[in-house]
Structure 1
């Protein structure tokens, strides 16, 4: 899901990097970072010593984490434990709203990287805490109550299927890069095996062992996740269907409905 773009940030709450903020946090329990990411924003790989809740109130984030590619629309967020190396892309720009939590303040949300569901309540809590962090005054008990409720709500949310394991075998590098850049590529498993100089049985085995999915299912999930970025940009469903490799809008809509439990037109209305 990685898209090439230009580095750049327009930072709202702070012109300092998040790790610099963390280093200077003192006795603060939570920090916020608000960034209006421009079209094509591309970050570099990095990690933090605190937990991070990565959220975009507008726009779709593409997040690379180790062997996973994640697509994060405004209805979702990424929970990142300390030390989790990641990078972020905003192909169509995004209103990035991120919270960082001191490790000893977090219980119940978990120590694994995951995409979590964002309810209306969680969204409002995130935005309220981000705004509160911009006020230079001592936190009072009601402020900490907001933080407690947010973490409790996050711990109750199930992990969502908006991530895709990426094959790490170096022999598949060309294949994975091609499919990420051109999800409409329609080469068959046998054609890819021939192109990569291996048997289709070997290629099938690698895919299953490294992603847990067969090639066709993996490619379909890649296409569906990629389609979210195009739909969020306001492109017509018919055009999106063709851009991600479906033969017709109805075939795309059927696959989308099966995976996301709603139609392409309904997704960003939820």
Structure 2
């Protein structure tokens, strides 16, 4: 996993709001948010291109956010934890939720920011969904309308309505990596994330956190609502996604993660991600 202190590569351009759309490439997050807060449109569309290692500032805005990874992979850090958004998937970020985004590699992201209260039935926490072909076409169409200068409020509203319908039909994926507030458990979790494929005994991890084995087990349950094993499997999935996206063979990834066979790894991967490792890797 990349160093979270990696700084984004920025251009000198500024985001432009026109007809409810924002086009952006490596621009300052604060400037984008400022434009969103002053825009009176019900929804705002944003196309973003990020270089590997891009890390936004921690920020929030009064609009709900849907961000679709058209290519590349994104990590989103919130107070709830870390969430991975693979290509072909999108994330819902509720209004006024502090968040920070990092590009794991070169990434193209299509986003829509909706007025607070427009979609009140969407969850109050961040969630990842699998995008349908129609969803991708609708998001892309919003950008194309702006590029052609053929903006129509009725067309825009119709597309926004269709996107909301597609969200309601989309499959949700558990791609979250909850992080603890307790500093002792945070030291343990960070050690696992830095080297998720290194097998450590519970006693060694407990020493890293300067806690007893029993206290560590209790902290995972009380702080993260997960067992130690469940949290470690999530860390392995994050590692697997990054390596598969980088082109590592499925067999190599499976063996490095401790699976006795590629088929066992593939079965777990499909359950958690919604596609096979090979299908996921083909998107890169």
TM-score bracket for this pair, using the shorter chain length:
0.7 to 0.9
Match of 1:106 in 2: 119
Cα drift, residue 167 of structure 1? 2.2
Q: After superposition, what is the alpha-carbon deviation per residue over 1:121-148, rounded to whole angstroms, capped at 9, x for unaligned?
A: 1111111113334455652322211111
Does residue 212 in structure 1 map to residue 225 in structure 2? yes
Match of 1:195 in 2: 208
Aligned residues: 268
Residues 73-152 of structure 1 correspond to what in structure 2 (within 5 A)?
A: 73-134=86-147, 136=149, 138-152=151-165
- TM-score, length basis structure 2: 0.84
Give the match's secondary structure for 1:105. coil
In the alignment, which of 223, 234, 237 is matched to residue 247 of structure 2? 234
User: Following the alignment from structure 2 to structure 1, what is the Cα–Cα distance between the partners of residues 230 and 123?
Assistant: 28
Question: Contact 2:127–2:174 at 8 Å: present in 1 too?
Answer: no
Match of 1:161 in 2: 174
Q: After superposition, what is the alpha-carbon deviation per residue over 1:31-50, rounded to whole angstroms, capped at 9, x for unaligned?
A: 12222111111112111111
Question: Contact 2:66–2:111 at 8 Å: present in 1 too?
Answer: yes
Question: Contact 1:53–1:78 at 8 Å: present in 2 too?
Answer: yes
Question: Contact 2:206–2:212 at 8 Å: present in 1 too?
Answer: yes
Give the match's secondary structure for 2:111. strand
Does residue 44 in structure 1 map to residue 54 in structure 2? no
Question: Contact 1:2–1:64 at 8 Å: present in 2 too?
Answer: no
User: Following the alignment from structure 1 to structure 2, what is the Cα–Cα distance between the partners of residues 138 and 258?
Assistant: 41
Cα drift, residue 254 of structure 1? 4.5
Question: Contact 2:7–2:53 at 8 Å: present in 1 too?
Answer: yes
Question: Contact 1:51–1:101 at 8 Å: present in 2 too?
Answer: yes
Inter-CA distance 136–87: structure 2 relative to 1 (3 Å threshold): same
Match of 1:19 in 2: 33
Q: After superposition, what is the alpha-carbon deviation per residue over 1:165-195, rounded to whole angstroms, capped at 9, x for unaligned?
A: 2222111222111211211121122221133
User: Following the alignment from structure 1 to structure 2, what is the Cα–Cα distance between the partners of residues 181 and 204?
Assistant: 20
Does residue 61 in structure 1 map to residue 74 in structure 2? yes
Cα drift, residue 242 of structure 1? 5.1
User: Following the alignment from structure 2 to structure 1, what is the Cα–Cα distance between the partners of residues 147 and 161?
Assistant: 19
Inter-CA distance 200–183: structure 2 relative to 1 (3 Å threshold): same
* Runs of 5+ consecutive residues of structure 1 not aligned to the other structure: none
Inter-CA distance 2–101: structure 2 relative to 1 (3 Å threshold): farther
Question: Contact 1:2–1:180 at 8 Å: present in 2 too?
Answer: no
Q: After superposition, what is the alpha-carbon deviation per residue over 1:24-75, rounded to whole angstroms, capped at 9, x for unaligned?
A: 313x122122221111111121111111111220001011111221111122
Question: Contact 1:109–1:151 at 8 Å: present in 2 too?
Answer: no
User: Following the alignment from structure 1 to structure 2, what is the Cα–Cα distance between the partners of residues 110 and 197?
Assistant: 37
User: Following the alignment from structure 1 to structure 2, what is the Cα–Cα distance between the partners of residues 261 and 143?
Assistant: 31
User: Following the alignment from structure 1 to structure 2, what is the Cα–Cα distance between the partners of residues 156 and 254?
Assistant: 24
Inter-CA distance 190–254: structure 2 relative to 1 (3 Å threshold): farther
Inter-CA distance 261–76: structure 2 relative to 1 (3 Å threshold): closer
Note the aligned Cα RMSD (angstroms).
Answer: 2.5
Question: Contact 2:184–2:210 at 8 Å: present in 1 too?
Answer: no
